[in-house]
């Protein structure tokens, strides 16, 4: 009898979940259709984002397959801080700026402080609550920090598997790290600032080679110039996909920087911007983005990134602590640059 | 020195001519002042304003001096200055020495094939500095560099003999990259030297060393100083080579600090305030060097070698030294052109970046070249690049010529100010010129809608490259005695006709050098093009950057190689046109 009751309750719960998902799907589909109709009337949608054009065009093609009447124009900004600066200047000058921009918390927060971002009721539009960071931002993708090593020059058994392995003197002078300590900064959200600072000092004893970007870092590991590198998952993919002898290991905890979509307050086609942002949180949009760029949204089920990070401890700062994170990263940058071991 | 003494009865005529000259120059000088104000003063003012704005953006509210405190109070600042000066002075001296040697060999010796050599010496300009740095890293990295590995295998060495990630390594690569610039500064001065001076010295019993020390170097002083000042400032602000080769070895200079403040600062916004504050140091340095230059070359008449007396440059016979000269030239081409291009070529044939090994031969593929040439964006980017290069090169050449004519020949009021204004952009980091142009053209958009188009990039290059243009034409104008133009004026020729028929043919080598230098640099310049990138103004360097920053160095290498090929064709075409038009001296 009791068992029967459990079955009934279980079925009801499952049905409830299914109904909620169906309602959300219906809501999000309705929202997408309404936004698409509105966006098509307002002209093209300008999207500032950092992926190379070839990759971005694949996302645009997938978007246009679903929304053929909306013209999406991707403008590649080189990441770093230039996307935020461009929005500030264009907004101050009253020029046309982006309708949607994909940025990290460190860029988003100064834009919010300058009142340059629009608030959107993302959940009201049907977005899954876990993807909504704030009224200003909805998650799009994540930068995942990883260990990369050369499989021809490093035996499987000797390969580094976690943070402590990177301190092994065997990598002295043959380990590369990004000159920006963003990954170490995110790591401090779990480890604490002092423990990470101590780790960097010990790493400095291994004379790490500093690289301007993690793209060349992965290439240097592929070329055998470096044996091991502390890089980023998606920047290791180009050589990996071309058959380079490298392998990626996700350390525990795994530092992550979430990138979000924001709608500038002066967007000429805000409906278009919201349409793109919302579509990127659907299974279809998230997969299109991940397939094109190799970086995906760990909050969307069905993405490879979600599968990759499932069950792992993610090290990341909440967006509202962006300033604190910036101070920590600045401190770690100085430590890396100085090569200090004490 | 060789100026013809003025005939006593002609002196009043020349004095009247000089007065008339100054009067006639007032209107064009005012127009030039306005143009320079627009091109230079506006970015300069915005940079100064940016340095005192709390948010760092020129239109932000408030006032602060904290950016100066942050920039100059940083404990690492003096160490950065020291490394920067070491790197800058080393690269400048290296480039100057090679530039002087090449200019002398090509312009003054009897070396055969000088027409071809002139083109070859400019070839390194075709390789973007970023690719040059990457190529040298692959050749001389202490861990896996191809040359190091070859030498270690050959001589059984335990450690790599060379390390490119050191200050001397940086100086070597930066110096090589700057040799064509040094050559273009110096070649016209060498070409315009009156051989009678050397003959007079030699017949008076002077030895070679005395000839160099007492005759050649003093005559060439304006051109050499001009080149030295220009190169020194350039080396203080360049980023690509010190950024790529310095970072792995923890060698940081002021330009890498500026890059950090703009792109890598974890605050999420470029720290334009600190960048502008640091740029003030460049500005002060530049004005100081500019003043020193004027001070050292103030007796302009001492450097006039082109006078009313006709001369034909006499080539210096090299004799048996010819083979040594050829060997030296071959070594230069090997280091500056062949070695980096071989590495680029190799990389372009690989699916991913890898060293030169027999095992890697099985990976050879033409996919990168196919991808690059098959990319629809390449055609549009090439078209944009060519239009921008031709437009900015022509504008800089014309403006530089007019500026030199106004300031050095007509000596209009405000000469020094005009000259200084033309030199100042050298001290303004390209990124700040970009910031200023964004504001200016957003404001002007209703009447001049060039924001986001290729023309805003052309304007940026016009501002950025004006210092090179004006220095080069000034260096040659100082050598030309005004008596030639004055003689034409007293014979009734109009001023425009004098400029067209007398001055221009005499300064043509310098104007042509300016044109080709600007065109070549505009074809490969990246930072401003990135900053001003819009929906439809992509150029070849931004396309290559797109590949590079997207983790595709092999396709970048393929594109870089094709850019080099295009530039070689461009140079060949330029030489052929110049020769056909009779505007280049026969070799």
A175-178 and A228-232 as β-strands: parallel, antiparallel, unpaired? parallel
* pLDDT (mean) for B282-295: 82
* pLDDT (mean) for B16-38: 77
Q: Which of A250, A222, A276, A264 is nearest to A72 (CA)?
A: A276
Which one of A59, A92, A136 would you mutate to disrupt binding with B, by most B Cβ within 10 Å of its Cβ? Answer: A92
Given CA atoms A175, B177, B255, A82 in this order, what sign does their dihedral have? Answer: negative
- Residue B417's contacts (CB-CB under 8 Å, 6 or more residues apart) are B33
Q: What is the pLDDT of residues A248-281, one digit of tens each?
A: 999 999 999 999 999 999 999 999 999 999 999 9
Extract long-range pairs of B245-249: CB within 8 Å, 24+ residues apart: B245/B133, B245/B136, B245/B137, B245/B164, B245/B165, B245/B169, B245/B170, B245/B173, B246/B165, B246/B170, B247/A179, B247/A210, B247/A211, B247/A212, B248/A209, B248/A210, B248/A211, B248/B137, B248/B165, B249/B163, B249/B165, B249/B166
With CB atoms and an 8 Å threshold, state whether B546 touches A174.
no
Contact by Cβ (8 Å): B480, B304: yes
- Between these two residues, B434 and A131, which has the higher pLDDT value? A131
pLDDT for the residue A25: 60
Say how far apart CA B117 and CA B385 lie, in whole Å: 26
Report chain B residues whose CB lies below 8 A from the CB of A55. Answer: 550
SS3 for B29-69 is: HHHHHHHHHHHHHHHHHHHHHHHCCCCCCCCCCCCCCHHHH
Tokens of B196: 């009678």
Say how far apart CA B516 and CA B242 lie, in whole Å: 25
Report the 10 Å Cβ neighbour count for B60.
18
Report chain B residues whose CB lies below 8 A from the CB of A216. Answer: 553
B8 has pLDDT over 50: no
pLDDT band at B339 (very low <50, low <70, confident <90, very high): very high
Q: CATH second-level architecture of A143-256+322-337?
A: 3-Layer(aba) Sandwich (3.40)
With CB atoms and an 8 Å threshold, state whether A223 touches B545.
no
Contact by Cβ (8 Å): A196, A184: yes
Report chain B residues whose CB lies below 8 A from the CB of A85. Answer: 57, 269-270, 272, 435
* pLDDT (mean) for B185-200: 79
pLDDT for the residue B563: 86
Q: Find the CB nearest A93 among B269, B377, B442.
A: B442
With CB atoms and an 8 Å threshold, state whether B268 touches A82.
no
**Among A227-236, B137-146, B212-221, which is the least confidently predicted range?**
B212-221
Distance from CA of A123 to the nearest CA of B (A): 27
With CB atoms and an 8 Å threshold, state whether B270 touches A51.
no
Which one of A44, A54, A246 would you mutate to disrupt binding with B, by most B Cβ within 10 Å of its Cβ? Answer: A54
3-state secondary structure of A176: strand
With CB atoms and an 8 Å threshold, state whether A53 touches B264.
no
> What ipTM does the predicted assembly reach?
0.88
- Between these two residues, B202 and A269, which has the higher pLDDT value? A269
- Between these two residues, B480 and B142, which has the higher pLDDT value? B142
pLDDT band at A18 (very low <50, low <70, confident <90, very high): low
Q: What is the pLDDT of residues A88-113, one digit of tens each?
A: 999 998 889 999 999 999 999 999 99
With CB atoms and an 8 Å threshold, state whether A224 touches B355.
yes
Q: What is the pLDDT of residues B92-113, one digit of tens each?
A: 999 999 999 999 999 888 888 8
Q: B483-490 vs B11-24: helix axis angle to the nearest 10?
A: 90
Fold classification of B8-580 (topology level): MetI-like fold (1.10.3720)
pLDDT for the residue B585: 46
Say how far apart CA B209 and CA B215 lie, in whole Å: 10
Say how far apart CA A186 and CA A274 lie, in whole Å: 28
pLDDT for the residue B7: 43
Distance from CA of B246 to the nearest CA of A (A): 9
Q: Give Rg (Cα) of chain B.
A: 25
Q: Which of B72, B77, B302, B96 is nearest to B186 (CA)?
A: B96
Report the 10 Å Cβ neighbour count for B131.
28
Q: Find the CB nearest A330 among B266, B351, B547.
A: B266
Output the pTM of the full model: 0.86
Distance from CA of A17 to the nearest CA of B (A): 39
Tokens of B253: 């200079």
- Between these two residues, A18 and A125, which has the higher pLDDT value? A125
Q: Where are the domains of chain B?
A: 8-580
pLDDT for the residue B533: 80
Q: Which of B401, B398, B399 is nearest to B477 (CA)?
A: B401
pLDDT band at B6 (very low <50, low <70, confident <90, very high): very low
Report chain B residues whose CB lies below 8 A from the CB of A95. Answer: 442, 445, 451
- Residue B123's contacts (CB-CB under 8 Å, 6 or more residues apart) are B180, B333, B336, B337, B564, B567, B568, B571
Q: Which of A197, A129, A227 is nearest to A336 (CA)?
A: A197
**Among A115-124, B164-173, B306-315, B499-508, which is the least confidently predicted range?**
B306-315
Q: Which residue of B has its CA nearest to A80?
A: B263
Q: Find the CB nearest A222 among B352, B377, B438.
A: B352
Tokens of B109: 């010796």
Report chain A residues whose CB lies below 8 A from the CB of B439. Answer: 89, 92-93
Q: Which of B309, B245, B254, B316 is nearest to B280 (CA)?
A: B254
Q: What is the pLDDT of residues A46-83, one digit of tens each?
A: 999 999 888 999 999 999 999 999 999 999 876 668 89
**Among A77-91, A183-197, B353-367, B387-401, which is the least confidently predicted range?**
A77-91
Report the 10 Å Cβ neighbour count for A195.
11
**Among A31-45, A226-240, B477-491, which is the least confidently predicted range?**
B477-491
pLDDT for the residue B297: 65
With CB atoms and an 8 Å threshold, state whether A106 touches B443.
no
- Between these two residues, B281 and B290, which has the higher pLDDT value? B281
Say how far apart CA B48 and CA A156 lie, in whole Å: 56
Q: Find the CB nearest B248 among A79, A211, A218.
A: A211
**Among B195-204, B244-253, B572-581, which is the least confidently predicted range?**
B572-581
Tokens of A283: 């299974």
Q: Give Rg (Cα) of chain A.
A: 22
Q: What is the CATH number of domain A2-142+258-311?
A: 3.40.190.10
pLDDT for the residue B3: 38
Q: Which residue of B has its CA nearest to A323?
A: B267
Distance from CA of B36 to the nearest CA of A (A): 23
Contact by Cβ (8 Å): B262, B275: yes
B82 has pLDDT over 80: yes
Say how far apart CA B55 and CA B399 lie, in whole Å: 36
Distance from CA of B354 to the nearest CA of A (A): 4
* pLDDT (mean) for B53-76: 94
Which one of A48, A74, A81 would you mutate to disrupt binding with B, by most B Cβ within 10 Å of its Cβ? Answer: A81
B307 has pLDDT over 60: no
Distance from CA of B338 to the nearest CA of A (A): 22
With CB atoms and an 8 Å threshold, state whether A337 touches B252.
yes
The DSSP string of A76-110 is E--STTHHHHHHHHHHHHT----SEEEEEHHHHHH
With CB atoms and an 8 Å threshold, state whether B353 touches A239.
yes
Contact by Cβ (8 Å): B490, B17: yes
**Among B64-68, B160-164, B434-438, B480-484, which is the least confidently predicted range?**
B480-484
Q: Which residue of B has its CA nearest to A334?
A: B76
Q: Which of B53-57, B108-112, B420-424 has the highest average model confidence (pLDDT)? A: B53-57
* pLDDT (mean) for B278-298: 81
Report chain B residues whose CB lies below 8 A from the CB of A109. Answer: 268
pLDDT for the residue A26: 60
B55 has pLDDT over 60: yes
pLDDT for the residue B587: 35
B5 has pLDDT over 60: no
Say how far apart CA B331 and CA B343 lie, in whole Å: 17
Residue spans in chain A of domains classed CATH 3.40.190.10: 2-142+258-311, 143-256+322-337
- Residue A259's contacts (CB-CB under 8 Å, 6 or more residues apart) are A102, A103, A104, A139, A140, A141, A142, A143
Q: Which of A329, A309, A339, A274 is nearest to A36 (CA)?
A: A274
Q: Which residue of B has its CA nearest to A238?
A: B551
What is the length of chain B? 587
pLDDT for the residue B551: 80
């Amino acid at each position: 009898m009791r068992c029967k009751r459990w079955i009934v309750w279980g079925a009801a719960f499952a049905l409830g979940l299914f109904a909620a998902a169906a309602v959300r799907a219906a809501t999000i589909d309705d929202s997408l259709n309404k936004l698409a109709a509105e966006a098509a009337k307002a002209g093209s949608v300008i999207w500032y984002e950092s992926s190379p054009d070839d990759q971005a065009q694949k996302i645009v093609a997938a978007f246009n397959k679903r929304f053929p009447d909306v013209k999406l124009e991707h403008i590649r900004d080189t990441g770093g801080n230039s996307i935020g600066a461009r929005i500030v200047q264009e907004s101050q000058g009253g020029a046309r700026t982006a309708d949607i921009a994909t940025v990290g918390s460190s860029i988003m927060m100064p834009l919010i402080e300058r009142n340059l971002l629009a608030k959107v009721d993302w959940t009201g539009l049907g977005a899954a609550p876990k993807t909504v960071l704030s009224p200003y931002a909805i998650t799009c993708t994540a930068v995942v920090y990883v260990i990369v090593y050369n499989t021809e020059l490093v035996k499987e058994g000797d390969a580094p598997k976690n943070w402590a392995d990177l301190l092994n003197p065997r990598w002295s002078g043959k380990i590369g790290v990004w000159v920006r300590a963003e990954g170490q900064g995110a790591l401090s959200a779990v480890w604490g600032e002092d423990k990470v600072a101590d780790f960097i000092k010990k790493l400095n004893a291994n004379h790490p080679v500093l690289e301007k970007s993690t793209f060349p870092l992965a290439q240097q590991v592929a070329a055998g110039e470096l044996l091991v590198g502390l890089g980023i998952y998606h920047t290791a993919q180009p050589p990996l996909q071309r058959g380079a002898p490298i392998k990626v290991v996700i350390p525990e905890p795994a530092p992550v920087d979430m990138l979000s979509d924001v709608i500038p307050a002066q967007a000429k086609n805000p409906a278009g911007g919201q349409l793109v942002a919302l579509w990127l949180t659907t299974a279809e949009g998230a997969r299109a983005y991940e397939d094109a760029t190799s970086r995906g949204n760990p909050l969307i089920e069905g993405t490879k990134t979600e599968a990759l990070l499932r069950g792992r401890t993610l090290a990341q700062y909440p967006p509202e602590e962006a300033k604190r994170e910036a101070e920590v990263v600045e401190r770690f940058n100085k430590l890396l640059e100085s090569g200090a071991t004490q | 020195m060789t100026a013809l003494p003025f005939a006593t009865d002609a002196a009043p005529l020349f004095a009247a001519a000089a007065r008339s000259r100054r009067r006639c120059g007032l209107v064009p000088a005012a127009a030039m002042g306005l143009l320079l104000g627009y091109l230079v003063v506006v970015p300069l003012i915005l940079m100064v304003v940016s340095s005192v704005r709390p948010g760092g953006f020129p239109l932000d509210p408030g006032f602060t001096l904290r950016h100066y405190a942050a920039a100059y109070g940083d404990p690492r600042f003096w160490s950065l200055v020291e490394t920067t000066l070491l790197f800058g002075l080393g690269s400048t001296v290296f480039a100057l020495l090679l530039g002087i040697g090449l200019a002398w060999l090509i312009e003054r010796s009897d070396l055969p094939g000088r027409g071809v050599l002139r083109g070859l010496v400019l070839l390194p300009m075709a390789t973007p500095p970023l690719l040059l740095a990457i190529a040298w890293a692959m050749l001389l990295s202490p861990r896996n560099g191809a040359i190091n590995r070859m030498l270690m295998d050959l001589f059984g060495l335990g450690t790599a003999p060379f390390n490119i990630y050191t200050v001397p390594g940086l100086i070597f690569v930066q110096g090589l990259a700057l040799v064509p610039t040094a050559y273009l500064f110096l070649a016209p001065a060498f070409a315009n030297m009156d051989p009678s001076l050397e003959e007079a010295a030699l017949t008076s019993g002077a030895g070679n060393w005395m000839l160099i020390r007492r005759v050649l170097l003093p005559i060439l002083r304006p051109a050499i100083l001009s080149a030295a000042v220009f190169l020194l400032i350039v080396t203080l602000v360049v980023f690509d080579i010190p950024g790529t080769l310095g970072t792995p070895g923890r060698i940081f200079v002021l330009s890498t600090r500026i890059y950090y403040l703009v792109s890598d600062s974890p605050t999420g916004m470029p720290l334009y305030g600190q960048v502008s504050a640091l740029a003030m140091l460049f500005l002060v340095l530049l004005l100081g060097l500019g003043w020193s230059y004027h001070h050292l070359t103030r007796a302009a008449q001492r450097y006039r070698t082109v006078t009313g007396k006709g001369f034909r440059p006499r080539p210096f016979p090299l004799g048996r030294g010819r083979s040594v000269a050829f060997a030296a030239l071959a070594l230069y081409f090997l280091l500056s052109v062949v070695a980096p291009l071989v590495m680029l070529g190799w990389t372009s044939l690989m699916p991913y970046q890898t060293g030169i090994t027999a095992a890697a031969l099985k990976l050879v593929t033409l996919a990168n070249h196919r991808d690059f040439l098959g990319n629809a964006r390449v055609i549009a980017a090439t078209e944009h690049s060519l239009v921008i290069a031709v437009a900015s090169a022509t504008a800089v050449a014309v403006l530089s010529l007019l500026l030199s004519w106004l300031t050095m020949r007509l000596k209009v009021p405000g000469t020094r100010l005009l000259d200084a204004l033309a030199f100042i952009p050298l001290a303004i980091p390209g990124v700040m010129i970009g910031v200023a142009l964004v504001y200016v053209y957003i404001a002007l958009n209703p009447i001049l809608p060039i924001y986001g188009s290729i023309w805003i990039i052309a304007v940026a290059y016009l501002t950025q490259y004006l210092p090179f243009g004006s220095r080069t034409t000034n260096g040659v104008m100082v050598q030309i005695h005004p008596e030639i133009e004055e003689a034409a004026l007293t014979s009734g020729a109009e001023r425009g006709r004098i400029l067209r028929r007398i001055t221009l043919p005499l300064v043509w080598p310098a104007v042509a050098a300016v044109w080709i230098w600007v065109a070549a640099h505009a074809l490969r310049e990246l930072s401003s093009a990135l900053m001003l990138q819009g929906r439809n103004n992509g150029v070849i360097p931004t396309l290559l950057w797109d590949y590079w920053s997207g983790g595709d160095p092999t396709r970048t290498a393929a594109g870089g190689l094709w850019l080099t090929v295009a530039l070689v064709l461009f140079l060949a075409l330029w030489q052929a046109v110049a020769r056909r038009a009779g505007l280049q001296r026969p070799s």
